[in-house]
């Protein structure tokens, strides 16, 4: 899939005007999920924006209670109903948990793709071993969405994305705001006369095959995050950020 460097994470967005503003600012990749309980809001924002549906990549995710083979299609149709769309561009398995069973879940998700309800199938929060198994049952992994920011990232998942050439969609690129207090990030931001948010997004998107989906509500944050991918960090700065001690992940289960 060809995803732009910066898309919009919508977890916690409950105002369709934010989605509309984001699209008007230039966002073309919108990420929601059944568990965010805001697919209707995202759909209303898409409908209100001036941009053609065909120019947008809309992604949603099947929650862990919708992964039994017989549940996948009705759950996908319910998401489409809430979004007000005929199809999404990317349908993820949100987590390999709950009703997830690769042998039954993934063929059912493939069937939904073949029926035209999604253009692509993605995975989220999978371990490298789980990706290997998933590959046996999927035509291909179109994208893998994982926690990835200066305070937590997994090199093995980056390597898998680069080796198999699919986008790694980095979620929580600002660690929900925690990077704003990280001394190395603050120091590099001061050198570039920019914000820690911009440095964090620029670092995440500096890797081959990595795109990101920061969540933002205000127009100023939306615009700043979109522009941040243009900030160029030096190899030395990238290495300094890689050396930051990795804390525990924010979204373990």
Ligand X SMILES: NC(=O)c1ccc[n+]([C@@H]2O[C@H](COP(=O)([O-])OP(=O)(O)OC[C@H]3O[C@@H](n4cnc5c(N)ncnc54)[C@H](OP(=O)(O)O)[C@@H]3O)[C@@H](O)[C@H]2O)c1
Residues binding ligand X (CB under 6 A): 9-11, 31, 124-125, 145, 171-177, 195, 197, 213-218, 221, 224-225, 251
Q: Are 90 and 142 in contact (CB under 8 A)?
A: yes
Which residues touch 68 (CB under 8 Å, ≥6 apart)?
A: 99, 104, 105, 108
Integer Cα distance of 98 and 117 in angstroms? 23
Radius of gyration for the chain, computed over Cα atoms and rounded to the nearest angstrom: 18
CB-based burial of residue 47 (10 Å sphere; 0-12 exposed, 13-18 middle, 19+ buried)? middle
Q: Is 36 a catalytic residue?
A: yes
Q: How far is the CB of 229 from ligand X (least distance, A)?
A: 12
Which residues touch 94 (CB under 8 Å, ≥6 apart)?
A: 33, 34, 35, 61, 62, 63, 64, 124, 125
Nearer to ligand X, 130 or 217 (CB): 217
Catalytic pick from 36, 92, 166, 171? 36
Q: Are 125 and 96 in contact (CB under 8 A)?
A: yes
Q: Which residue's CB atom is positioned nearest to ligand X?
A: 9
Nearer to ligand X, 70 or 220 (CB): 220
Nearer to ligand X, 69 or 224 (CB): 224
Nearer to ligand X, 31 or 182 (CB): 31
Active centre residues (catalytic): 36
């Amino acid at each position: 899939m060809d995803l732009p460097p910066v898309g919009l994470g919508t977890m916690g967005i409950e105002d369709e005007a934010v989605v509309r503003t984001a699209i008007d600012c230039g966002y073309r990749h919108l990420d929601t999920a059944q568990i965010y309980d805001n697919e209707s809001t995202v759909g209303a924002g898409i409908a209100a924006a001036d941009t053609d549906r065909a120019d947008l990549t809309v992604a949603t995710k099947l929650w862990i209670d919708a992964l039994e083979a017989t549940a996948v299609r009705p759950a996908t149709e319910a998401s489409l109903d809430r979004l007000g769309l005929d199809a999404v561009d990317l349908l993820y398995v949100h987590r390999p948990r709950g009703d997830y069973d690769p042998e039954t879940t993934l063929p059912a998700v493939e069937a939904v793709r073949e029926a035209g309800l999604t253009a692509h199938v993605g995975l989220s929060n999978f371990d490298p071993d789980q990706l290997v198994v998933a590959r046996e049952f999927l035509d291909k992994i179109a994208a893998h969405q994982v926690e990835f920011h200066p305070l937590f990232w997994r090199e093995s998942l980056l390597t898998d994305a680069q080796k198999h050439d699919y986008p790694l969609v980095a979620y929580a690129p600002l660690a929900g705001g925690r990077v704003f207090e990280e001394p190395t990030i603050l120091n590099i931001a001061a050198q570039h006369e920019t914000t820690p948010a911009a440095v964090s997004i620029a670092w995440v998107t500096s890797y081959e095959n990595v795109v990101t989906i920061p969540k933002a509500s205000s127009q100023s944050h939306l615009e700043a995050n979109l522009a941040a991918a243009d900030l160029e960090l030096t190899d030395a700065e990238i290495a300094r950020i890689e050396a930051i001690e990795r804390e525990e992940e924010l979204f373990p289960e």
